[in-house]
Amino acid sequence: MTRYKIELQYLGKNYHGWQKQPNVHSVQAEIEGKLFQVLQTEVEVVGCGRTDTGVHASHYVAHFDFEKSIDCAKIKNSLNRLLPPDISITHLVEISNDFHARFSAVSREYKYYIDFEKNAFRSDLAWIIKLELNFEPLVKSCEIIKNHSNFSAFCKAKTIKNSYKCIIYEAKWEHTDTGLVFTVKANRFLRNMVRAMVGTLIEVGTEKINLQEFQYILNSGKRSDAGKSVPAHGLFLTKVEY
């Protein structure tokens, strides 16, 4: 068997995330279906991780195994002709069999976009808010995040305690032409973690809670103490590193 790595982009609006599930439309199912048409053989496409319903990816990585050697450029072009406009294959290459799209990844980066004014071209790509945000505590809250490792307060599904630990390599807020963008990079992410984190940070920015209370929420580990999850359509998976 030969292993192939796929790099792709997708808009999440029309999909219930990456993961294939019964009776719903997913990115994984869409790609596997088109690969079957091209290769005339069923293959399983393994992704670098799940994304929530409606979340986008400007850089997503997956792999599949196939018993024959293929012309990667030809297969890539065939897939792009068959796939809907909101999914695009950017790279398809043969790779060593010890590569794994999920387990070989050393970091993932997400960005969350916030706009302050309605924009017809960005309505599905950013969360529009009319709140006044104090930028200084938002910046300071990122230092608190980077010095923390247990993020159960931002985890939707409670599992074993060790699974809550993440190493945050980067967390920052930046101004954009239309609003703000929050960037966070880590070795791994918990389910719903970024959206819950941003929702809580918004409470810091509006001064509903102060930095000490934000630190308390992280230390408590209780999802009920944290803010609401922000809408999925502002969130992008932007980089996966190996």
Asked about 177 being catalytic, the answer comes back as: no
Q: How far apart are CA 166 and CA 152, in angstroms?
A: 10
Amino acid at the residue 36: F
Contact 179, 116 (CB under 8 A): yes
Residue located via tokens 């916030």: 114
**How many angstroms separate the CA atoms of 34 and 26, rounded?**
13
Q: Cβ(242)–Cβ(170) under 8 Å?
A: no
Q: Which of 52, 71, 177, 225 is catalytic?
A: 52
Q: Active-site residues: which are they?
A: 52
